[in-house]
Amino acid sequence: MSASSRCRAAALLGVGALLAAACGSDQSILNAGNEATTTIATTTTIATTTIPTSTTVPPTAAPGETLAPTTTAAPTTTAATTTVPAPTTTTTPLDSLPPCPVDALTDADGPIELVFWHGLGATLEETLVALTDEYNAGQDQVVVRLENQGGYKQTIDKYVQSSQDSRPNLVMMPEYMVQQIADSGTIVPVGACLEASEFDTSAFLPRALTAYQTNGVQWSMPFNVSDPILYYNKQAFIAAGLDPEQPPSTIEDLRTYSQAIVDSGFGVGIAFDSGVDSGGGWFIEQWFAQAGELYADNENGRAAPATRVLYDGAAGVGLMTEVQTLITDGLAVTVGDNANGQDTLLKLADPANPAAMTIATSAALGTVLSVLDGGLIPGITSADVGVGPMPGPGATRSAIVGGASMYVVDGKGDAPTAAAWDFISYLVSAQSQSTWAAATGYVPVREDALELEPLATTYTADPRFRVAYDQLLAGEPGPASVGPVLGPLREVRAVTAGAVASIFGGADVQQSLSAAAAQANALIADYTARN
């Protein structure tokens, strides 16, 4: 290995560590709390048929590059006909749920100590601490104590396995926990707080709010919102004769751009992954939303609990066949299950066979740019990084909400509940969201945050930070554009990721998706039976 290659390899290790720290330990649980004494339902393992593969790419394989197979022929597939039944609509009356006594704080005897569990790390945690310190110093009724649980997985584990008395007043949970937490009977719905306080949500991004709604109830308040974006190397675009300011928009564009990049000798067009919380699970949900297709029945589980997934129909087979042929034609590679969450980004700096593009969370943007400005990757600076909307099907580049939201825990008393709502109101104020988004790269949950400093200058000076925000404004309203809510969504993503890994390895698309859908539907049925 040359000296420059050794330097770059060492730098890659440093980048991976920094990115992992910045994004937190967000690898989420599959079966947390199965042995715990708790009211929260958890999902058991369902024995079903094995997903067929032609190349063994297990969903839990060690990370590493899987090069394109030599065949250039797309697999023969017969798309299943999916009939979407009319949705079953159920509405949960707000007055049947725990109330939110927002006025109780004024009658409290002394300051209320509020415990908030979260799982953020590095810059994200530092910014949350700074906002919390500002809140604590600005009033004398509430003292917030932050308790970092080490990541989303650890937060979920601890919450599920704790008794209600030992749980915090406020907890941060990722977007795939909506249905499970709503079904747990352990929270005060934020909708009750909104109604009791007559809180004005007119400035909020509609998609940010509706991401955490089911059965007509707002269960939690969005806070750290992100979505997937396209990262690309402008140097590679220039070398291939492509406009570095015009990234690809569709899957067809990805093929055209990738072919030009491969022909230029730069490397490979795009790096994919089969990770549960990225290319194997979450991105499929994103692509269905872009196409205006429902991922699950009952309006993606938002009109009533979903009973089955729909991704093994014609839309899913067509989409995944297009993606698979990018790999089989040598225009793309897969880095496997993206175990550390950053393998696709690191592939952009691979000294041997770099990818010119990848798709990753917008929450990593600030860290990626700061790492490059630190000179850790020789020959690549932050100015070389282009950012575009996530390419996909359909004419509109939109996205569904990722990240996490805040839940008010029930059973803590009137004054602590009011204190939790007061702190939430502060964190989602226009000024707090401006500060939060500018420092972290997360999307502000409200439009008026863009009018305030420091975010106003950030979005003007570097439009790359605004791409994720604009994606959440785009697209038609409706359940398809918000994404699915399933009780066992994390487990369903894991099953789906296994199918995607198989497809990336050359397996039959229809068979892989149909087998995964059967497993997903069994998980949903099991969850429903226990609720």
In whole angstroms, give the CA distance from residue 41 to residue 356. Answer: 43
Query: For 104-108, 208-212, 467-471, which range has the lowest pLDDT when averaged over its residues?
Result: 104-108
Give me the pLDDT at residue 370, please. 87
Mean pLDDT, the chain, rounded, equals: 86
Name the 3-class secondary structure at 332. strand
Burial 239-259 (b: 16+ CB within 10 A, else e): bbebebeebbbbbeebbebbb
pLDDT digits (tens, 9 = 90+) for 255-296: 999 999 999 999 999 999 999 999 999 999 999 999 999 999
DSSP state of 302: T
Q: Are 332 and 320 in contact (CB under 8 A)?
A: no
Average pLDDT over residues 181-193: 97
In whole angstroms, give the CA distance from residue 250 to residue 254. Answer: 6
Cβ atoms < 10 Å from Cβ of 132: 20
Architecture of domain 94-226+400-476: 3-Layer(aba) Sandwich (3.40)
Residues of the chain with CATH 3.40.190.10: 3-30+228-398+488-529, 94-226+400-476
Provide the pairing of β-strand 187-188 with 402-409: antiparallel
- Return the structure tokens found at 144: 């917030």
pLDDT digits (tens, 9 = 90+) for 434-481: 999 999 889 999 999 999 999 999 999 999 999 999 999 997 788 999
In whole angstroms, give the CA distance from residue 441 to residue 468. Answer: 9
The residue whose two tokens read 């699915």 is: 484
pLDDT digits (tens, 9 = 90+) for 231-242: 999 999 999 999
Stated pTM of the model: 0.84
- Return the structure tokens found at 426: 């502060």
Q: How confident is the model at residue 89 (pLDDT cuts 50, 70, 90)?
A: low
Q: Are 384 and 234 in contact (CB under 8 A)?
A: yes
Strands (E), 183-264: 187-188, 213-214, 217-218, 221-226, 228-233
Give me the pLDDT at residue 90, please. 62
Average pLDDT over residues 491-505: 98
Q: How confident is the model at residue 47 (pLDDT cuts 50, 70, 90)?
A: very low
The residue whose two tokens read 């597939």 is: 77
- Return the structure tokens found at 229: 């974006």
Q: Which helix (H) or strand (E) holds 147?
A: strand 142-148
Give me the pLDDT at residue 88, please. 56
Give me the pLDDT at residue 113, please. 97
Query: For 35-49, 153-167, 179-193, 213-227, which range has the lowest pLDDT when averaged over its residues?
Result: 35-49
Query: For 50-59, 95-104, 469-478, 510-519, which range has the lowest pLDDT when averaged over its residues?
Result: 50-59
Q: What is the DSSP string of 53-66?
A: -SS---TTPPP--B
Q: In the predicted model, is pLDDT for residue 1 greater than 50?
A: no
pLDDT digits (tens, 9 = 90+) for 363-386: 888 888 988 988 878 888 999 999
Give me the pLDDT at residue 231, please. 97
Give me the pLDDT at residue 376, please. 78
Q: How confident is the model at residue 78 (pLDDT cuts 50, 70, 90)?
A: very low
Query: For 42-51, 89-98, 321-330, which range has the lowest pLDDT when averaged over its residues?
Result: 42-51
Average pLDDT over residues 220-230: 96
Residue 48 burial by CB count (10 A; 0-12/13-18/19+): exposed, middle or buried?
A: middle
Cβ atoms < 10 Å from Cβ of 470: 15
Query: For 19-28, 83-92, 310-319, 398-407, which range has the lowest pLDDT when averaged over its residues?
Result: 19-28
CATH superfamily of 3-30+228-398+488-529: Periplasmic binding protein-like II (3.40.190.10)
Average pLDDT over residues 125-145: 97
pLDDT digits (tens, 9 = 90+) for 49-74: 343 333 333 333 333 333 333 333 33
Give me the pLDDT at residue 441, please. 85
